Amino acid sequence: MNTRIQFCLIVAAIVVVFDAVAAAVSKAFLIDYTKMALINYILYVAAGFFGRKSFDLKTGVAAGFLAGLADATIGWYLSSVIAPFVPFAQPNYSALLVILIIILITGAGGFLAYLGASLFQLLHRSESPADRDSSP
């Protein structure tokens, strides 16, 4: 299997596993599950950063999009099954609202991954030419 595809699938799996673990921890310790969303956003940025570092901009952004899609579908489903602690009533989700959330989270994953890839590029450009020549 192509290493770029493997990278994207690993990133998506990490996000899904995080969703399940966070939901279980939330339920067990009565921690507000919605406050853990920040970690998902950090994972999207990291996907872009490391995708750009290991491959290229397109791979980093694709990993973020796929992570967002996995988060908004499989991750959401798993966390719903686990029933994490949320200190407010959950709304009734219509099919249209679910589709809209999937689109927004997938887009947010791609956008944040783009920011992560851009951060890598910014940091990489700030290296001196001597540093780049001596790197393995």
Query: Residues 7-43: pLDDT tens digits?
Result: 999 999 999 999 999 999 999 999 999 999 999 999 9
Residue 60: domain span: 3-126
CA-based nearest residue to 64, from 1, 128, 8? 8
Question: What span, in angstroms and rounded, lies between the C-alpha atoms of 54 and 48?
Answer: 10
- The backbone region for 83, taken as left when phi is positive above 0, alpha when psi lies in -120 to 50, beta otherwise, is left
**Domain assignment present for 132:** no
Q: How long a stretch of residues is the chain?
A: 136
Contact 42, 71 (CB under 8 A): no
Total structural domains within the chain:
1
Confirm whether pTM is higher than 0.75: yes
> Is 47 contained in some domain?
yes
- Assigned domain for 135 exists: no
Q: Assess if residue 134 is contained within a domain.
A: no
Q: Would 69 be classed as within a structural domain? A: yes
Pairs from 88-91 (Cβ < 8 Å, separation ≥ 24): none
- Predicted confidence (pLDDT) per residue in 44-67, tens digit: 999 999 999 999 999 999 999 999
Asked if 78 and 20 count as a contact pair (C-beta separation under 8 A), the reply is yes
Q: Has residue 63 been placed in a domain?
A: yes
User: Does residue 99 form part of some domain?
Assistant: yes
